[in-house]
Structure formats: C-alpha cells, structure tokens
Structure 1
C-alpha cells in the first residue's frame, strides 16, 4: 500500500513527516494552490519518492522543476494529453494522471491514458483542480477495469480508516493524504499522520 503525503513545503515539517515513513511526498507547483511551492525548501526528503504536482503546465517547465527538486514522479491534475504523459515517461519520469470522479461515466476518460501512465489518481470532482476535502462514492470504481493501478484521493482523514479497510479493488495501489491531516495549509499534523500510517500499513498491506 503506497502512502503519499501531499502539499508539503515547510523544511522542518518535511523532515518530521519523512521520519513517519510515507512512501511518497508531494510538492504542488500550481500557482493558484494555497500549498504552492515557489522555491526549493531548505530540506527535501531522501527516504521517500518525490512527486511534483502540476496543472496544465508545459513540458519544459515540468522538466525544469523535476531537475530542480530531483523528482521521481510527475502528477498531472489538468487536461494534459496522453502524448504529454508519454513524453514525460520517455524523459525518465514516472507519471501519475489525476481524474476527477463523480460517476461511473467519468472513468471512460482513463482509457486513452493506459500504457502511458504508471498510476492513476482518482479524486473527488469539484470546481477547479483538487482540494475539495470531500470523499466521492468509491463504489463508482467497480466500473474501472483498466490495467493501470490507482491511488485513492479526496477527503481522506483520520476517521477514514474503517472505510479504507472495507474497500477492495484489484488495481488499488495506495492513498493520497493532504488537507485531512493538516494544522494549516502545507503543514501536516505529525501525530495524526504517524498513527494513521501505522494503522494503514498494519491493516491493509
């Protein structure tokens, strides 16, 4: 079970969260996000994979940030094409494509991204790009029969553990944690995260 903690930017908080043991850590490069990272923090994680989050950004700018932050994965939240995903993979980066989900019909758009992405991320559909803090109906995902593994996102918080334990899907690979574990935008509550990640790792893997 991959555990990704997203929306990080404070060096001390990055270091503290890294000690808890998430697999991936996400950095948001979308200027309109309240968790936007404009400059490289004084400390970046060394024990987990670094994920850069972008929205409708051009490939050269993504590659520049990938080099600056030594990113392992690129997470695309906008209307990026399958061709752009493939180009990023050819550049040696892992690619995660995000899909906002409200109904089964929303899953149809994943088809043309098969074989050009390493993972999909299913998030709650909302106005704008992510950050709703709400959970969608995971039963919708019974209609997903693709071969690309996916992460669950959208409104996950400490009391989501029971629902996660009840959820099953052969392509489910991990979870994405953000606002439900924050003290303030971009700063995570390490006590809540530590307890939750330990529970997830022991109950679901």
Structure 2
C-alpha cells in the first residue's frame, strides 16, 4: 500500500485536468500529470528528476499555477508555472502542439517560492517568496527576466487570490500559520499592474 502513488491537488482549466502525483517508488518525488480530455491518455509533464515541492515556511506550499497563454491563438493552451525542488526555481511549462521546452524563470538562490497564481492579463506569476525569514509578494514575468515586488507583509503571507482590481492574500499574525488563536487578515498590494519592472534583491 505504501508504494502506491498518492494523488493530490486536482485542478481543472479549460477542460484540461491537472493533478500532482507523489511517487514513493521514485524516492517520493512529486510530478505533474495532465489529462487533456476524458478520452485522452494521461500525460506526465515533469518526468525524470523533476520534483515539485516548495520549501516556503519549511513545510512548503502550493507548487503549481495554471493559466492561459498570451493572444487568441494561445488562449486555450494552458501555461503552467511550477516550483522545482531540484533548484528551488520557478519554471514555465507549456502544453499543446506548439509547446516549447521548459523555461526557468528565476535563478537559483537562497530563497523559496510558493502559492502562486497566473495573472493572464499581464502574463506574469504572482506569489510568495520567502528570503531571510521574510515573506514578500512578488511578480515574475512569464517571459522571464524582471521580478517585481508587490508588497512586504508584516505577517506571514498566504496564497494570493485574483480579483478584477488586483490580488489579495491572507496573512497570519501569530508565530505559526496553524497555531490556534492566530488571526487571519486580508491585504491588497499597493502596486500598479503596469509598474512591476523594479528589481527586488
């Protein structure tokens, strides 16, 4: 029983079903699976040495964000951003007949990413980056390159959520996200969607 894959976090995007599969027989690594349609065979999107895991807050967080590509031609083709534990970087994955090779969006470093979403309008990933014990909400362009800082919460930041006017996230004011009695709060980034080119070290 302990050697069977464990299925986690199913997500449906424009008729494409995605899920994570943790495989004890492969040193416990977690891979991303896709079923493009009910009739199609399942496809492993992160084979080999890929291991989708986050080290944010030590116990991790969400490692897959799903959205659509830019332009009408790519609107129905999912674009994914994943966290690869091998280098702790964000990677962009594409599906479909025009899919390119995986692209690393961030450079390796002493930091961790998690709990992201894809802002389709501005073609960027928005999520949590933990560095030196501090949480920041950051943006990373899906084309790679610039990383912007949305906000530096005074508490631990949780998974962002999208809205027509921007993105929000829950925060925890206690010493632990799961500690009884902690108060959850909601914040809104103070950045303009068009002003995300500022580098944050």
TM-score range, shorter chain: under 0.3
Normalising by structure 1, report the TM-score: 0.26
- Larger Cα Rg: Structure 1 or Structure 2? 2
> As a proportion of its length, which structure holds more helix?
1
TM-score, normalised by the number of residues in structure 2 = 0.27
